[in-house]
Amino acid sequence: MNNFKEREYKVTLFKDRMKIQYNIKNVFKSAKVKNRVLPTKKRDKENPYMTTQQYTKTLKKFKNKLYDLDIQANKSVYITLTTSSISLWNDLKSRFQALILCLKRNFGKIYYIRAIESHDKDNHFHIHMIVMFENEIPTNLNKEWIEKHWKQGFVDYKNVSEPYGIIDYMTTFKSENINPTNDKYTKLPQFVQVISHSVDFPKSEKKEIITTKNEMNEIVDSFKEYCFEETGKQAYVYSDGHKYIDKDTGEIIYCLDRQYLHKAKTNKISS
């Protein structure tokens, strides 16, 4: 009797995007221990920075989480906030919260997604953020308005055409964040929220399917055809994975964990 069970994949379908989880079984299940005291995070007094490993895990975790959010391009703007003098995390956080409060006071209900990164040549930070409004983008909101109320440095302001392409960018590991004195660490402080979003940010409707490889490939092919028909371009594909060492050969092997697919900006001319 053949007890072989075909490998399963988890496909999450949205209206304009999808994600595939390749490893849905947790092989290493932790033992249940009664009255166990969980270890607390210990601050590294020798090196106050977040490790590159922890930063990478955070980015992957949030990419998966942010793909569930319902980011509506026609109601959203993409803003980059730079700083010319802020080098302390708490100062940056308070300045950001002040800007969010100012946006709410002037334009009503908003939702945001923000990612904080380090500059390439100094210890200053900059912020990438998507701001989504409840109804429509205010006509009097522009780069000059943001600069006037940010007051900390240069501002970039764009309308959003590919929201999940921006999510890909915001959750991509960038070499500028690596600590120049020790590449095992970043230039970001330990235990800080490098990525966050409004707790009430709307979520998209989705359908989750547990399927086999052949069925998963058929779903992917169908989605790619849909994207091309809608936009005239191929679907964007972003892959996340990890490396491990084969215990028998010593070879470093790349293992695919998830793939994210979304529509590109259309280049079709409407009639």
Kindly state the greatest CA–CA separation across the chain.
73
Spatial distance between the Cα atoms of 259 and 10, rounded to a whole number of angstroms: 11
Cα 244 from Cα 230, distance rounded (Å): 39
Cα separation, 14 vs 67, whole angstroms: 9
For residues 114 and 104, give the distance between their C-alpha atoms in angstroms, rounded to a whole number: 16
Q: Read off the amino acid at residue 263.
A: K
Specify the pLDDT at position 152.
85
Write down the pLDDT at residue 42.
58
Query: What is the rounded CA–CA span in Å between residue 260 and residue 168?
Result: 9
234: its two tokens:
């191929």
- Our CA dihedral for 113, 116, 119, 124, rounded to 10 degrees, sits at 130
Cα of 168 vs its chain's centroid, Å: 6
169 SS3 class: helix
Mean pLDDT, the chain cut into blocks of 10 residues (271 residues total):
72 94 61 45 69 93 95 96 77 91 96 89 84 94 95 91 93 90 90 92 95 93 90 88 86 91 66 33
* pLDDT at position 270: 39
Q: Which two tokens stand for residue 64?
A: 């998966």
CB 254 within 8 A of CB 240: no
**Exposed / middle / buried, residue 185 (Cβ in 10 Å: 0-12, 13-18, 19+):** buried
85 burial via Cβ count (<10 Å: 0-12, 13-18, 19+): exposed
Q: Could you tell me which residues come within 8 angstroms of residue 68 by beta carbon, excluding any fewer than 6 positions away?
A: 203, 204, 206
For the chain, the first-to-last Cα distance in angstroms comes to 60
146 burial via Cβ count (<10 Å: 0-12, 13-18, 19+): buried
**pTM assigned to the model:** 0.84
How confident is the model at residue 122, as a pLDDT? Answer: 65
Find the angle CA(51)-CA(53)-CA(54) to the nearest 5 degrees: 70
User: Tokens 């793939």 label which residue?
Assistant: 259
Write down the pLDDT at residue 79.
97
